[in-house]
Structure 1
Amino acid sequence: MKVVLKKIELTPPQILVIGFAAIILIGATLLSTPAASASGTPVSFLNALFTATSATCVTGLVVVDTGTTYSLFGQIVIISLIQVGGLGFMTMATLFAFMLKKRISLKERLILQEAMNQGSMEGIVRLIRKVIRYSLTIELVGAVIFSIRWSIDLGPAKGIYYGIWHAISFFNNAGFDLFGPVTGPFSSLTSYASDPAINVVAMGLIILGGLGFIVISDLLELKVNKRLSLHSKVVLSATGFLIVFGALVILIFEFTNQKTLAPLSGPGKVLAAFFQSVSPRTAGANTVDIGGMRQATQFFTIILMFIGASPGSTGGGIKTTTFTTLIGAIIAMIRGKEDIVLFHYRLGKDRILKAITLTMIALFLVVFVSMILSTTENHPFLMILFEVTSAFGTVGLTMGLTPDLSDVGKIMIALTMFAGRLGPLTLAYALGPKAEKELYRYPEGKITIG
């Protein structure tokens, strides 16, 4: 009897989902071994899975302190997952293909196009080369400065190790840190709240990682091209506005808060306010106690986390371009205009529909998971909403809920991080039925809105 096996054809979104899931499972297996634990007692598989998901999805939420729980081997596994997750496993696979002088196939180019959120395959391999080159250069510069600074406090060997580790973590917007043994578990960069060198370099790495490689490439080639693309103009404008406006709001709300900015000097307050404005754009590090912030600031941080970074970057969220498109739609509607115009360019209807769809799916996801956790976790709703939004935006900031999560809570947050890293639309395309061309259109109808 002849058995015929049907060949399974996977779409680029499905390959991305399976690839990230495989990396997470490999990471979880390694982190659950005795060699990965600082004490020699293996971390539970669920905690290892949560950590691997957080690292691969470059989030930074942790149920156990990274610096005190994991050994050198475990820390290297985590930072490797962060690098692969931040740049994308297809980017790393392409790097090895370059090293082996292997040709990039058409299907691989399609997957890279999906992974980098590009509209076409044109120049995709050239873009990947730039991504690798820019990333390693930026991480190297950050590592050198960090190493010099931390060698003063921690000694040369530990200072260099911390410098390299945190440069990778911050550029990839992961938010993981190793300062548990130095300043206490889950302390992040709170002991460096007023340190200009650490703050400026960390913010620089976070911003560059969150801008997206297309924008970085555009900026570096500005002398040649003489102009920026519409995408770069929108990203830079939105990023600059959100950072400055965010810092101003945080400074106003937290200026007299004894648990956050009040004990700092004048320059220290400004520095900390800017850091807390930059970090919610999916970085996850903090220099003041997030749980000690006023509720108004915490809710404002939730909004920043939901917006997130920019397309083609190491960050999550609905992205700055989506946010700008929605604001443009509101302004156009109020003014009675038919088109959304940004920098003298009209946006196509497909861009607007995609922005609305992405935002609504993201909103439904955050609301749904928040409702589930409200029944499984005995904590205030704002704390739960903060945690879920942080997971979706792959941010990593927490008000202190992560270590207290139940097993169900850990699984839900891990799934939210996974969805946030891949993107709601990519996940929907991967899990949904194959799109078919419509053979006919229904007549147009009218309903009353508002």
Structure 2
Amino acid sequence: MLQPIKKKRSFNPAQILALIYLGIITMGMLLLKLPWATHEPISWLTALFTSTSTTTVTGLFTINNVTTFTAFGDFIILILIQLGGLGVMTFASLMLLLMEKTITIKQRLMIQEALNQSSLGGIMKLARRLFFFSMFFEVFFACILGVHLIPRLGVMKGLGYAIFHSVSAFNNSGISLWSDSLMGFVGDPIMNVAISLLFMLGGIGFSVMNDVWDKKKWRELNLHTKVMLTGTLIVNCIAILLFLALEYDNVHTLGQLSIHDRLWAGYFQGVVPRTAGFNTIDITQLRPETQFLLMALMFIGAGSVSTGGGIKLSTFLCLVMMIISYIRKQKEPTIMRRSISVSDIFKALTISLISMGVILVAIFILLITEGHAFDFLQIAFEAVSSFSTTGLSNGITPHLSVVGQCVIMCLMIFGKLGPLTIVFSVASRSNDLIRYPNGKLFIG
């Protein structure tokens, strides 16, 4: 009697990518639980939360990371930040190249999934460039920060802090070795400029860097690069002006500072929410309307193929142009005299709606478990910050229940991997050969 042939289980690239990140988070948890990683023992949940937050480059903590972790623990956190921000598939592809191993189609597909590319062409070149850009900017700005911090902290400590904050900023983690983040440098031009340039470079997207490196002239750049550069400038300028207008006379934030420090703080906090979780003023003292502005910026997020999170600026701009074209009764959305494909519109809508749905479900659960202790805005702020992997906090994360911490961890993982990666990892293949009759729905 013939035995039925068992079909071998195979994982698609999205599933493999998700499993790799979960593996890194687990490894990070085990390392952070080692006795020489902390000054005092931490629970398994705390180790898991910290590993998740650092690997997803979010930067939320349930403990004081400055006083809890030793130098070894900080080193583990730094490695997790680098792996999470730059991407484990980038490191894997470079290791294969260094060992002169042949990279299979399946491995290229995994790298394509990790780098969010539409084709396999130039994947390895982009991965190499990505590593080069990361190392160059991290080393360059670490030198600048080192020159600035060594006179204050000493050689070893100053150099260590410079390296840590350079890596943390470029990878958009927002994790600092100071308990008050960067509040002690609110009016420091070098720290404000260096840190903000790092997280903006990391957040604009490696595809943009690669295109600028290759072409250099504006008219030769591809559409995505032009949209990202222009959109980033416009959104950042609007965010800075709105932040200054909303908080200028708030005595708990900008109002207590000199004009010089007030302008620097307004600039820094205006550009930071879309990408990183650093702060030079007390986030818990912001006015409700300012917190809502920060939530909107965090949800929009950074650029595609970057170290930042959110739905991505290109997704947001795609939806904006879709709305404008519909109002103008145009046949198709356009941007910079180029039409936007229907598939891009569907993708942008899918990402945005899934993201909003996940955030709303998370807020609903958090209201059930944490609503007795915190108000709606505090919970919503923390949920959006977790999903966008920004890491700005209203100060409620250390006080969350076990269920609340698990919800935040799920949001961080979901935000890091991206809605489509999660969906593709669980979705079954559809049959495009089946067609159905057209139907009519009354919309609006």
Contact 2:200/2:275 (8 A) holds in 1? no
Q: For residue 331 of structure 1, what is the aligned residue in structure 2? A: 324
| Higher mean C-alpha displacement, 411-420 vs 261-270 | 261-270
User: In 2, distance between residues paired with 1:263 and 1:98?
Assistant: 54
Query: Is 1:364 the counterpart of 2:354 in the alignment?
Result: no
- Give secondary structure in 1 for the equivalent of 2:252: coil
Q: Give the C-alpha shift of residue 3 in structure 1.
A: 11
**For residues 46-445 of structure 1, what are the structure 2 equivalents within 5 Å?**
46-180=45-179, 187-223=180-216, 227-377=220-370, 378-433=373-428, 435-445=429-439
Contact 2:30/2:47 (8 A) holds in 1? yes
- Give secondary structure in 1 for the equivalent of 2:17: helix
Task: Give 5+ residue unaligned stretches, structure 2.
Answer: none
User: In 2, distance between residues paired with 1:326 and 1:357?
Assistant: 11
Q: Per-residue displacement from partner, 1:101-135 (whole Å, max 9, x unpaired)?
A: 22221111101111100000000000101000011
Q: For residue 25 of structure 2, what is the aligned residue in structure 1? A: 24
Q: CA, structure 1 residues 445+384, in 2 after alignment: closer, same or farther (shift >3 Å)?
A: same
User: What is the identity, as a one-letter code, of the residue corresponding to 1:29?
Assistant: L
Q: Per-residue displacement from partner, 1:199-254 (whole Å, max 9, x unpaired)?
A: 00000001000001010111222337961110111111211111110000000000
Contact 1:282/1:315 (8 A) holds in 2? yes
User: In 1, distance between residues paired with 2:219 and 2:96?
Assistant: 33
Q: Give the C-alpha shift of residue 279 in structure 1.
A: 1.3
Q: CA, structure 1 residues 223+305, in 2 after alignment: closer, same or farther (shift >3 Å)?
A: closer
| Higher mean C-alpha displacement, 87-96 vs 300-309 | 87-96
Contact 1:316/1:394 (8 A) holds in 2? yes
User: In 1, distance between residues paired with 2:235 and 2:353?
Assistant: 21
Q: Give the C-alpha shift of residue 6 in structure 1.
A: 4.3
CA RMSD of aligned residues (A): 1.5
| Higher mean C-alpha displacement, 199-208 vs 58-67 | 58-67
User: In 2, distance between residues paired with 1:421 and 1:65?
Assistant: 23
User: In 1, distance between residues paired with 2:107 and 2:125?
Assistant: 14
- Stretches of 4+ aligned residues off by more than 3 angstroms: 1-6, 223-226
Contact 1:143/1:163 (8 A) holds in 2? yes
2:441 to 429, 440, 447: 447
- Give secondary structure in 2 for the equivalent of 1:61: coil
* TM-score under structure 1 length normalisation: 0.96
Contact 1:139/1:167 (8 A) holds in 2? yes
- Give secondary structure in 1 for the equivalent of 2:294: helix
Q: Give the C-alpha shift of residue 431 in structure 1.
A: 1.7
Count of residues in correspondence between the two structures = 441
Q: Per-residue displacement from partner, 1:407-428 (whole Å, max 9, x unpaired)?
A: 1111110011000000011101
User: In 2, distance between residues paired with 1:111 and 1:9?
Assistant: 13
Contact 2:56/2:413 (8 A) holds in 1? yes
- Give secondary structure in 2 for the equivalent of 1:262: helix
User: What is the identity, as a one-letter code, of the residue corresponding to 1:418?
Assistant: I
Q: For residue 183 of structure 1, what is the aligned residue in structure 2? A: none
User: What is the identity, as a one-letter code, of the residue corresponding to 2:326?
Assistant: M
User: In 2, distance between residues paired with 1:270 and 1:341?
Assistant: 36
- Give secondary structure in 2 for the equivalent of 1:236: helix
Q: CA, structure 1 residues 402+227, in 2 after alignment: closer, same or farther (shift >3 Å)?
A: same
User: What is the identity, as a one-letter code, of the residue corresponding to 2:141?
Assistant: G
Q: For residue 34 of structure 2, what is the aligned residue in structure 1? A: 33
User: What is the identity, as a one-letter code, of the residue corresponding to 1:235?
Assistant: M
Q: Per-residue displacement from partner, 1:349-401 (whole Å, max 9, x unpaired)?
A: 01001101110000000000001001111201100000000000000000101
User: In 2, distance between residues paired with 1:267 and 1:420?
Assistant: 36
| Higher mean C-alpha displacement, 233-242 vs 437-446 | 437-446
Q: Give the C-alpha shift of residue 5 in structure 1.
A: 6.1
Identity among equivalent pairs (%) = 42
User: In 2, distance between residues paired with 1:328 and 1:226?
Assistant: 21
Q: Give the C-alpha shift of residue 155 in structure 1.
A: 1.0
User: What is the identity, as a one-letter code, of the residue corresponding to 1:265?
Assistant: S
Contact 1:219/1:228 (8 A) holds in 2? yes
* TM-score under structure 2 length normalisation: 0.97
Contact 2:169/2:276 (8 A) holds in 1? yes
